[in-house]
Amino acid sequence: MEYVNLGRTGLKVSRLCMGTMNFGWTAPEENAYQVFDAFADAGGNFIDTADVYSRWVEGNPGGVAETYIGRWLKRRSMPRDKIVIATKVRGQMGDGSNDEGLSRKHILDAVEASLRRMQIDTIDLYQAHWFDADTPIDETLRALDDLVRQGKVRYIGCSNYPAWRLMEALWTSDKLGLARYDSLQPHYNLLHRAEFERELCDVCKTYGLGVIPYSPLAGGFLTGKYRKGEPPPAGTRGAQSKRIQGLLAKDANYAVVDRLRAMGQSRGKTIAQMALAWLLASPVITSPIIGVNTVEQWNELAGALDVKLSEEEKKELGELSKWE
């Protein structure tokens, strides 16, 4: 396993980050423990979660993935300093009027709940899950700065911020002398490039933010499980997700998959491994967030770490997936 700094910070994180959105949703608790064990045994030290996971499942109050992390740390007797834990705040966690958002009240309530669920004293990376137009950015950042000063949070970051809001946050931190966002978690993959590359990429490079992209396999499209002209297999996300169905409707996306398949065959690698390798080849990318249900899936994706794309291959994939 390779390790890199999280942006301009001195924090070392593994080149792949284990995402947990699926735990308690498509993967049961025991699978989560098995995956965490395999990830840690391979040298992985970076786990990303959110308090709202998996609140969308009927009967699930949220916080399930965080609870699994806490139980796993105790079950494995994992030294706390060996794992970098990132979680997020913003989503609705109750029926009250202040049970969501990035207000001072919600942040201070939410961090205590996350710490209890994970049975830890400090969160390594605490992230604003998405922006909150109803709360002034200085209120959000002052609350997060207080958590850093109290030792409850070590670093702060954000997710799903447009470039202008990210710049507003960085400027506010600089002006007021507050802790600043040191990472961005964007939606980014070979088939979803414009949102990040148009402006956010330059912001991250200029100001030294770590980049932790989610959905690196485009919701499973970049595994090759979907076939052109055929309906999505029953039980897959493509059978339900309008976003993935939009990918299925574009012929150009299948051309990207076909080229990844051909590049992989010469190396004995899968389509998914090649898609991850494309992200890992970018100097601005810190650690793609992967989501797996089984140890077998983790073992496959870990195989991307030793793939080195040539400049010609990167250029070809860039042309096939270019955006206007």
What does the pLDDT profile of the chain (324 residues) look like in tens digits?
A: 999 999 999 999 999 999 999 999 999 999 999 999 999 999 999 999 999 998 888 888 889 999 999 999 999 999 999 999 999 999 999 999 999 999 999 999 999 999 999 999 999 999 999 999 999 999 999 999 999 999 999 999 999 999 999 999 999 999 999 999 999 999 999 999 999 999 999 999 999 999 999 999 999 999 998 888 778 777 777 767 778 888 888 889 999 999 999 999 999 999 999 999 999 999 999 999 999 999 999 999 999 999 999 999 999 999 999 997
160-183: b or e for each residue (b if 16 or more CB lie within 10 Å)? Answer: bbebebbbebbebbeeeebbbbbb
Active site residue 188: no
Nearest to 126 by CA among 187, 181, 177, 163: 181
Fold assignment, 3-185:
TIM Barrel (3.20.20)
Out of 3, 33, 53, 207, the active site residue is 53
Q: Are 12 and 41 in contact (CB under 8 A)?
A: no
Q: How far apart are CA 114 and CA 67, in angstroms?
A: 8
Instruction: Report the first-to-last Cα separation within the chain, whole angstroms.
Output: 36
